Homo-oligomer: A and B are copies of this chain.
Amino acid sequence: MRKFKVTFLPDGKDIEVEENTTLMQAAGKAGVYVNTICGGKGVCGKCRVQVINGKAKPDKHAIALLTKEEIDDSFVLACQTKVQDNLEVVIPPESRLEAEQILLTDSFVSEAASVESAHFDPLVQKIYMELQEPSNEDNIADSDRIIRELKRRTEHITYERTLGCLKGLNSKLRNSSWKVTATIARQNNGWKILEVEAGDTNDNNYGLAIDIGTTTVVAQLLHLKSGKVIGGEGTHNLQAQYGEDVISRIAFACGKEQGLQELHKSIVKNINDLIKSLTNKHSVDPEDITAIVAAGNTTMIHLLLGLIPCSIRLGPYVPTTHSFPQIKAGEIDIDIHPEGILESISDVASYVGGDIVSGILACGLADKPEIKALIDIGTNGEIALGNNDWIVCCSASAGPAFEGGGVSSGMRATQGAIQKIEIKDGRVQYWTIQKSKPRGICGSGIIDCIYELVKNGIIDQQGHFNMSTKNERIIEKDGDPQFIVAFPDETESGENITFKESDISNLIRSKGAVFAAIKSLTDYVGIAFNKIDTFFVAGGFGNYLNIFKSISIGLLPDIDQKKIQFVGNSSLIGARMALLSKTKFEYTAEIANMMTNIELSTYIPYMDEYMASLFLPHTDKKLFPSVDYWQS
């Protein structure tokens, strides 16, 4: 098979690939992240790239999606273009995903989210000990000597020997004058000894908390002795090249030989890349990482462990398992300590995953009698409601609009995203992440924009443009009215950043799905919104979320704003808490067990609630008394 070299600019990274590899795949192999929303189906147009050297023909999708000028300038879609020549390809700013710019929104520290010293009991611990040499009077076996000392030093009752801890033990003890460090790991019903090392190595013990999102994968490196966060890093889920959302990933895993294997390997590569980068940056030996806790939705964890996810998308939505075995990370080729463990947070249902359970842990939702709610707005919107006695939950197909998907100028909360917008007297003011030139609009900006448009009368409550309004920012293109948020001279790409009527229509469906789910859940348990003590909102909106505007567009219920708290990546926070505390980790299984999932697709009242929510803010005026633009 012929091979060609592809060079990606501006990074200057090149890669040799086989003929007919797509540019998207080539970019993935070169470690260059290209945007995609549709998962490589050629329908979103987000992966527009410019071929400046070598031959590459625009396919039918490109012809449909790109302008004539763009095609004349050799723009193609990376996901549809097959490499048949040596190429030099420019990835324009708006098509670029920059791994290092995924924000770790981890400012949220609730009472629950900090692991108190009483519960500090990491899943893997290293214990240094100076042992008495055996004598005729005290001639117990070497491993018994270690276990005796462990029992003296810890409150743990049982210790199981592993082959790993017994191998070479004889020499390690005697060559180190009986001064050794035992690495112990929590397991079901006790602890096991993973390894014994000569000398004092108890400081060299690290763990990884990982949130595996459908879109992004975020990891934190923790020092397990002190519990301190050493560093954090995020990256785009490499599986995106096979499909943007959970459903298309499952379709890929189940529709193609080796599909599951490819997705599995992608996420393993993601994690290994994060490990490599974090350990490099912080001068940590990857073999000193002894434990990983992963939180993710049901499909993501199935793919991580190489489990067939096919039934998850078919009624009655049955996954292989809700609780996952502890495995050696090495079993799935994750490069940490050879005996290092990987735990995955239990899930509740096919569409209520361990990320939500982890989030509930982080928010303390299940800790006290006060009723609290958690809403995680990602590709799906998952909602949990309850207290220490009961929890109900559900998942709404919100779509990725609030993560920037399905919105023409939408983007994730990375550098250059407009995260805050105000419109006053016709003047538009916006704020971007890292104060860069704007590249698009992220979730929080999108919410602001809708609010400002309706508040300023630019659109009506159904999301239609008032074309009678005189405003240089309102234009119409291909029959789709749109609002110019940023003009070409302001933007990184030199093109308009606009907000289209079709975008607004998508967003109204999204926010409607989320609100209807919240409403269905509170109605199901017979609780008024104002009986909810705290309303936690998680998701990749960015660092900033305007609660008032979120209420005003009908995304969140109209309750006392002080009760609404934006918590960022609560799944990551929960995973970290579980890593640092055996009690908290075991608590996640209890939380998952006590949660009742309401399957909205078969829950009749939901559809009515959804229909009633397709309005800004809602068709039922009484539900949103504090909204200030309310007309009629």
Q: Which residues of A approach B to under 8 Å, CB–CB?
A: 134-136, 138-144, 158, 160-163, 166-171, 174, 188-190, 305-311, 315-325, 327, 331, 599, 602
Residues of B near A158 (CB, < 8 A) are 188
Nearest 5 interchain pairs by C-beta: A170-B308, A139-B316, A143-B321, A189-B189, A134-B318
Residues of B near A322 (CB, < 8 A) are 141, 144
CA distance A114 to B325 in the complex (A): 37
**B166 near A323: Cβ-Cβ < 8 Å:** no
CA distance A188 to B305 in the complex (A): 24
**A316 near B161: Cβ-Cβ < 8 Å:** no
**A142-B599 CB under 8 A given contacts A308-B169, A308-B171, A325-B160:** no
**B134 near A321: Cβ-Cβ < 8 Å:** no
**A325-B163 CB under 8 A given contacts A142-B311, A319-B141, A319-B142:** yes
The number of times this chain is found in the oligomer is: 2
Shortest Cβ distance from A169 into B: residue = B320
> A135-B316, A170-B311 provided; 16 other pairs, C-beta below 8 A?
A136-B602, A139-B317, A141-B321, A142-B319, A144-B321, A144-B322, A158-B188, A160-B325, A161-B321, A163-B305, A163-B306, A166-B324, A169-B307, A170-B320, A171-B308, A174-B311
**B166 near A318: Cβ-Cβ < 8 Å:** no
How far, in Å, is A263 (CB) from chain B's closest CB?
A: 14
**A161-B311 CB under 8 A given contacts A142-B318, A169-B320, A306-B167:** no
Residues of B near A317 (CB, < 8 A) are 139
Residues of B near A135 (CB, < 8 A) are 316
Shortest Cβ distance from A174 into B: residue = B311
**A167 near B307: Cβ-Cβ < 8 Å:** yes
CA distance A146 to B168 in the complex (A): 39
CA distance A142 to B311 in the complex (A): 10
**B134 near A316: Cβ-Cβ < 8 Å:** yes
A-B contact pairs, 14 of them (CB 8 A): A135-B316, A136-B316, A138-B316, A139-B318, A144-B321, A161-B324, A163-B327, A166-B325, A167-B306, A167-B307, A170-B311, A171-B308, A188-B190, A189-B190
CA distance A139 to B142 in the complex (A): 49
**B188 near A143: Cβ-Cβ < 8 Å:** no
CA distance A324 to B144 in the complex (A): 11
CA distance A317 to B138 in the complex (A): 11
Residues of B near A166 (CB, < 8 A) are 305, 307, 320-321, 324-325
**B307 near A161: Cβ-Cβ < 8 Å:** no
Residues of B near A331 (CB, < 8 A) are 163
Shortest Cβ distance from A309 into B: residue = B170
How far, in Å, is A315 (CB) from chain B's closest CB?
A: 7
Residues of B near A602 (CB, < 8 A) are 136
How far, in Å, is A325 (CB) from chain B's closest CB?
A: 5
